[in-house]
DNA sequence: ATTGCTAAAGGG
């Protein structure tokens, strides 16, 4: 079995600053003060006259208004969220918001740990199937690949009992979520078990805060997967949330691959109908068991395995709370004082409004010297 | 372009 993987088609010049449009560039400068902002916006040739207070460039006014009236979903041009957006949000909502607003490079050391984790995941994936590169140009093509993967993976799960990197999507508490389940398999007892692998740089068990985030992540997967097999994720809902064009012709490489897999489809809509039928009529159960396995990156030692108690009410309540931020119904929050240690490794600690305004007591972070007696 | 848009997860 071969899983299709879409190819990135990014040109070299589109990877740097040049792909930022005016409005995005302004977002990038969000936290600069107005003077600096105006200065960097003025053209080199006309540096003598900075815009007057009430004669600002139109784009700047738009930017100001954007921040005032648009929800984060609108500001970041998002139609749906990734599961990991929400689990990152549960680590620190404000850090997650800064990452969206001011996406920067992560520190090389951190990137290395993530890359190691990604390769370990890839190695595990390759144990179960091959990868095929398929070039895609439209988002319809990209979703078609996702659908083809689902169509080939469901029969594999039912016949061989195990699949990895299974795509899931669906509405949870009004928000459309997209994610990928690490692994699904049937246990000896015939229960459907989800396992999420987490690799760690240091050979120690995760702190409670880390576990909490990971539990939330796998709980979201269960919400989405269960909704899919129960027929609650309809083709119409997918189309409505993603704004995909079901009738747009698929690219030739995608069509060729679909044919190779034995699917006679001409459009994304056709594929979507097939996916709906396959997901709902393949006798897939809801997920019975949620497990998280923590392993040490260097030695592959199992550090611990947690079985997650699925608390549906609690999970949905949490999603509702996080949605209030995304819909612009409330400001993003930083961490509680007890978790201020998270700020130590945060890229945004120096500009963080939460820290500045005392959401985290400064004394908890930088103990003041006791007053002289 | 007075515009449009998504690879999810990767670890702390």
Cβ of residue A257 lies below 7 Å from strand B: no
Cβ of residue A240 lies below 7 Å from strand B: no
Which pLDDT belongs to residue A240?
96
In which band, very low, low, confident or very high, does the pLDDT at A104 lie, cut at 50, 70 and 90?
Answer: confident
Q: Stated in angstroms, how far is A81 CA from B7 C1'?
A: 12
CB count, 10 Å around CB of A79?
12
Q: Do A251 and A199 touch, CB atoms closer than 8 A?
A: no
Q: Residue A65 is encoded by which pair of tokens?
A: 């208004």
Q: Do A161 and A267 touch, CB atoms closer than 8 A?
A: no
Kindly report the CATH class assigned to A76-335: alpha beta
Has residue A361 got a pLDDT over 90?
A: no
In which band, very low, low, confident or very high, does the pLDDT at A126 lie, cut at 50, 70 and 90?
Answer: confident
Cβ of residue A342 lies below 7 Å from strand B: yes
In which band, very low, low, confident or very high, does the pLDDT at A355 lie, cut at 50, 70 and 90?
Answer: confident
Which pLDDT belongs to residue A6?
57
Which pLDDT belongs to residue A364?
44
Q: Stated in angstroms, how far is A368 CA from B8 C1'?
A: 42
Which pLDDT belongs to residue A48?
34
Which residues on adjacent β-strands are paired with residue A292?
A196, A306
Has residue A15 got a pLDDT over 80?
A: no
- Per residue in A292-306, pLDDT (tens digit) is 999 999 999 999 999
Dihedral sign, CA of A239, A241, A242, A243? Answer: positive
Q: Do A133 and A253 touch, CB atoms closer than 8 A?
A: no
Map chain A to HEC letters: CEEEEEECCCCHHHHCHHHCCHHHHHHHCCCCCHHHHHHHHCCHHHCCCCCCCCCCCHHHHHHHHHHHHCCHHHHCCCCCEEHHHHHHHHHCHHHHHHHHHCCCCCCHHHHHHHHHHHHHHHHHHHHHCEEEEEECCCHHHHHHHHHHHHHHHHHHHHHHCEEEEEEEEEEECCEEEEEEEEEEEECCCCCEEEEEEEEECCCCCCCHHHHHHHHHHHHHHHHHHHHHHCCCCCHHHHHHHHCCCCCCECCHHHHHHHHHCCCCCCEHHHHHHHHHHHHHHCCCCCCCEEEEEEEECCCCCEEEEEEECCCHHHHHHHHHHHHHHHCCCCCCCCCCHHHHHHHHHCCCCCCCHHHHCCCCCHHHHCCCCCCCC
For residue A141, what are the contacts with CB-CB under 8 A and spacing of at least 6?
A6, A250, A251, A254
Q: Between residues A326 and A40, which one has the greater pLDDT?
A: A326
Q: Stated in angstroms, how far is A180 CA from B9 C1'?
A: 8
Which pLDDT belongs to residue A35?
31
Q: Residue A338 is encoded by which pair of tokens?
A: 């007890």
Nucleotide nearest to A92 (CA to C1'): B12
**Mean per-residue pLDDT, A236-262:** 94
**Mean pLDDT (chain A, rounded):** 82
In which band, very low, low, confident or very high, does the pLDDT at A9 lie, cut at 50, 70 and 90?
Answer: very low
Has residue A239 got a pLDDT over 50?
A: yes
A206: nearest Cα among A68, A53, A91: A91
- Per residue in A82-96, pLDDT (tens digit) is 999 999 999 999 999
Cα A27 from chain centre: 20
Protein residue nearest nucleotide B11, by CA to C1': A114
- Per residue in A148-158, pLDDT (tens digit) is 999 999 999 99
Determine the Cα–Cα distance for residues A118 and A129; give it in Å rounded to an integer: 16
Terminal CA-CA length for chain A: 75
Which pLDDT belongs to residue A365?
45
Has residue A213 got a pLDDT over 90?
A: yes
For residue A16, what are the contacts with CB-CB under 8 A and spacing of at least 6?
none
Residue in this structure with the two tokens 């105006």, named with its chain if needed: A38
Chain A residues 120-179 with Cβ under 7 Å of strand B are: 120-121, 138-139, 142, 146, 167, 178-179
CB count, 10 Å around CB of A188?
5
Residue in this structure with the two tokens 């805060």, named with its chain if needed: A209
Which pLDDT belongs to residue A29?
30
In which band, very low, low, confident or very high, does the pLDDT at A14 lie, cut at 50, 70 and 90?
Answer: very low
Q: Stated in angstroms, how far is A65 CA from B2 C1'?
A: 16
Has residue A189 got a pLDDT over 50?
A: yes
**Mean per-residue pLDDT, A304-321:** 97
- Per residue in A69-84, pLDDT (tens digit) is 899 999 999 999 999 9
**Mean per-residue pLDDT, A7-29:** 32
Which pLDDT belongs to residue A39?
29
**Mean per-residue pLDDT, A117-130:** 90
- Per residue in A50-69, pLDDT (tens digit) is 333 444 455 556 655 666 68
Domain ranges of chain A: 76-335
Min mean pLDDT across A62-66, A119-123, A308-312 is at A62-66
Has residue A362 got a pLDDT over 60?
A: no
Has residue A270 got a pLDDT over 90?
A: yes
Instruction: Specify the pairing of strand A2-7 against strand A130-135.
Output: parallel
Q: Residue A180 is encoded by which pair of tokens?
A: 């990928």
Q: Residue A184 is encoded by which pair of tokens?
A: 């699904």
């Amino acid at each position: 079995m071969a899983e299709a993987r879409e190819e990135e088609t990014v040109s070299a010049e589109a990877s740097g600053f040049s792909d930022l449009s005016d409005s995005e560039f302004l977002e990038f400068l969000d936290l600069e003060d107005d003077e600096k902002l105006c200065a960097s916006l003025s053209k080199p040739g006309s540096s003598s006259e900075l815009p007057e207070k009430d004669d600002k460039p139109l784009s700047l006014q738009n930017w100001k208004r954007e921040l005032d009236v648009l929800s984060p979903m609108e500001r970041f041009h998002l139609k749906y969220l990734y599961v990991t957006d929400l689990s990152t949000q549960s680590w620190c909502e404000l850090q997650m918001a800064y990452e969206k607003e001011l996406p920067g490079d992560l520190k090389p050391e951190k990137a290395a740990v993530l890359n190691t984790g990604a390769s370990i995941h890839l190695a595990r994936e390759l144990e179960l199937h091959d990868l095929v590169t398929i070039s895609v140009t439209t988002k319809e093509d990209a979703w078609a690949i996702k659908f083809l993967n689902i169509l080939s993976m469901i029969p594999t799960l039912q016949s061989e009992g195990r699949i990895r990197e299974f795509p899931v999507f669906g509405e949870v508490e009004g928000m459309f979520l997209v994610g990928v389940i690490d692994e699904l398999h049937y246990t000896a007892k015939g229960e459907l078990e989800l396992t999420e692998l987490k690799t760690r740089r240091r050979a120690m068990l995760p702190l409670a805060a880390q576990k909490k985030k990971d539990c939330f992540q796998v709980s979201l997967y269960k919400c989405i997967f269960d909704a899919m097999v129960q027929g609650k994720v309809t083709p119409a809902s997918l189309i409505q949330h993603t704004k995909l064009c079901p009738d747009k012709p698929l690219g030739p490489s995608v069509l060729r691959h679909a044919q190779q897999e034995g699917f006679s489809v001409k459009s994304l809509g056709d594929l979507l109908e097939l996916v709906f039928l396959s997901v709902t009529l393949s006798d897939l159960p809801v997920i019975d068991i949620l497990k998280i396995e923590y392993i040490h990156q260097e030695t592959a030692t199992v550090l611990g395995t947690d079985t997650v108690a699925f608390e549906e009410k609690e999970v949905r309540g949490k999603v509702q709370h996080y949605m209030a931020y995304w819909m612009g119904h409330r400001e993003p929050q930083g961490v509680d004082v007890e978790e201020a240690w998270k700020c130590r490794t945060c890229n945004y600690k120096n500009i963080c409004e939460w820290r500045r305004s005392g959401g985290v007591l400064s004394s908890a972070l930088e103990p003041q010297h006791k007053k002289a007696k």
